[in-house]
Structure 1
Amino acid sequence: MVKGNRKFVALLLVGIMAALVLLSAGCGQKQAGSSGEQNYPTKPVNMIIAFTAGGSSDVQARIMQKYWDKLVKQPWVFQYKTGAGGAIGFAEIAKSAPDGYTIGGVNVPHIVLQPLGQGAQYTIDDFEYICQVVNDPQVLAVRKDSKFKSVKEVLDFAKKNPEKLKVGIVGTFTGHHLMLLDLQDKTGIKVTQVVYKGAADQNAALLGGEIDVMIGNVNDVMRSLEQMRVLAVASEERSKFLPDVPTFKEEGLDIVSDIRRGFVAPKGTDPKVVQFLRDTFKKIAEDPEYLKDMEKAGQPAEYMSGEDFEKYVREQNEKSKELLTKFGLLKA
């Protein structure tokens, strides 16, 4: 009888120990899972830039990285996927694993125009929108020693010499391309379009004499103002970065054009991760020191939440369909 009781007690103790082990393992798994979510990111995050190193998109992201590093333990690893006016890099973001460890910079209207007119390997539905960080008006610029001193002189030359004026732009189906089409449509000029992979390449081409004029952005020209002359800015009002430069409207042309820069993640990224990214980017965008750095770099900061940024992109998509149809560039 005693032996039986001992056997029973021993079995009971073994059973209790086994239950405790299983319970402990279960709790451990649950805690590890919740800890993993709380600690995101647990490894470096890939940051895809669709334009050349040293260009406007890269410069802005580098400034943002400085403040990301103050808030998040894991760094960004920059990857440059250039070409086709950004379409190669944007597609790379879209097709990346939606695990929170690949994000990237996008430009508007590029991400709208390229799927519509080029059949790009992505659409505006392939992204989770984190935020907009820049609203960068476009400009018409020449080399400092250029014979062109005004927009009127450029247009007069182009009208008298069809297709002789070499105009540099970054990519086709980009904001630069769209502005050039708008300029040609409203003035009737015919030019030779010269396409570059990124702003750094385009600036070098202008300064090296490969092209006569370039359509760029405020930030594209800020780092080379000593060597360039900006003839006009395509904004409603004069830029605070270029207060002495007239708007196209002042020059008699109704042209308003800009490039918005923002950040996205691949579609399907965990909503909690997307929210973490949105919250972190918002904190950075509101940091007074970040805004000072942006101004020093000639980056026209303008924050827009992920939800509002996506809404803006979809609105531009509808407007761009009309414009591309007008020029016969809408891809069937």
Structure 2
Amino acid sequence: MKRTVATALVALLGAIAPAAAQSAADFPTKPMTYIIPFNAGGESDISARYQQAEWEAVTGQQVVIQYQPGAGGAQAWSQLNSLPGDGYTIMGINMPHTVLQPLAGSVGYKTEDLVPVHYFHYTPDAIFVRAESQFKTLADLVDYAKANPGLVTFAGSGSNSSNNLAAIRFNTEADVKTTYVPFSGTGPSVTAVLGGSTMAGFNYATSGVTQGDAMRMLAVAADERLPAFPDVPTFKELGYNIVGGAYRGVAVPASTPEDLRQRISDIVSEINKRPDFVQKMESGGFVLTDIGYSKMNDFVAARVEEYTEGAKALGIIK
């Protein structure tokens, strides 16, 4: 009797083990939910929609996008680890938001609580002016700022944001004093530039696509010129060491097994290589990255160090 039960148990475990080992390889076998922690229409939504168009081609399953806006993304990120860790619910994740928010105060989560599995792009910071602005080049703006300390005003997407950090960095690199004016998002900050409420804007490069000829981009914080804006110089070309923007990726609940974390990262990486996706992203002013799960610890650690220094410059911490 005991031998029979033992034999049956061994057989059962033998049947289960291969199935468990194959789970990540077979994943997904049903539609997935992709939560965006912001309102529809922003850069996080646009890039996720571009991914959505490719998801079924790569996995054979659809991904359904849902929105959970609130507190600059903190509302959703604070609830991420309460979701099932079966791989079927993923969430958009942004930096520097997820570093600066916990540094600034209690937001219901800590940076180390979150499990990003892939960062697939960033939107570079860029300086914009109205098309009719007196500033034709970045040198024009810098000369004016040197002669008129504090009078150059930059609209930007929120306090303690990538735009805010870029403005602080620009003041240091160019040895000027400018005034950063935070708005509640990309849309309102661009409206401020277009309406003349501020002299310029530190916005994301993607704004140049949506606004057409209404604004002029003076410089972009990328390593190389963007395909969508081949005539716009990088800050590095102009002698300023400013590269970066808002990094966006995909995160999972902390209870998600390691093999599923890697599988989801691999899916995102494969989508990143698909020609239609690349064309849409680059035409939209996004810069593709391929920071997968195996590289995540080092990448996040480097960003935390960078943004912590930025937080000191912003006065968030001492």
* Offset of residue 270 of structure 1: 2.4
CA distance 1:213–1:118, shift in 2 (3 Å) = farther
CA distance 1:146–1:319, shift in 2 (3 Å) = same
Distance 2:112 2:168 in 1: 26
Distance 2:59 2:179 in 1: 48
1:19-168 residue pairs with structure 2 within 5 A?
37=23, 40-41=27-28, 43-158=30-145, 164-168=151-155
Matched, 1:254 2:260: no
1:100/1:273 contact within 8 Å kept: yes
Report the secondary structure of 1:225's partner residue: helix
Distance 2:159 2:31 in 1: 33
1:223 paired residue number? 210
Distance 1:36 1:280 in 2: 16
1:8 paired residue number? none
1:303 paired residue number? 290
Task: Using the TM superposition, name which of 313-322 and 156-165 deviates more.
Answer: 156-165
Report the secondary structure of 2:77's partner residue: helix
* Offset of residue 265 of structure 1: 0.8
* Offset of residue 216 of structure 1: 1.9
1:47/1:105 contact within 8 Å kept: yes
* Pair member with larger Rg: 1
* Offset of residue 295 of structure 1: 2.5
* Offset of residue 79 of structure 1: 2.5
Q: Normalized against structure 1, the TM-score is what?
A: 0.78
Matched, 1:172 2:159: yes
RMSD: 3.5
Q: Which residue identity does 1:288 align to in structure 2?
A: P
Residue 183 (structure 2) aligned to one of 192, 195, 218: 195
Residue 322 (structure 1) aligned to one of 296, 309, 317: 309
1:277 paired residue number? 264
1:108/1:313 contact within 8 Å kept: no
Matched, 1:312 2:311: no
2:122/2:244 contact within 8 Å kept: no
Runs (5+) with no aligned partner, structure 1: 1-18
Distance 1:163 1:95 in 2: 46
1:182/1:255 contact within 8 Å kept: yes
CA distance 1:262–1:224, shift in 2 (3 Å) = same
Q: Normalized against structure 2, the TM-score is what?
A: 0.81
1:93/1:102 contact within 8 Å kept: no
Q: Which residue identity does 2:177 align to in structure 1?
A: I
Runs (5+) with no aligned partner, structure 2: none
Q: Which residue identity does 2:279 align to in structure 1?
A: K
* Offset of residue 212 of structure 1: 3.2
Question: After the TM superposition, which segments of 4 or more aligned residues of structure 1 sit over 6 Å from their partners?
Answer: none
CA distance 1:108–1:142, shift in 2 (3 Å) = same
* Offset of residue 182 of structure 1: 1.5
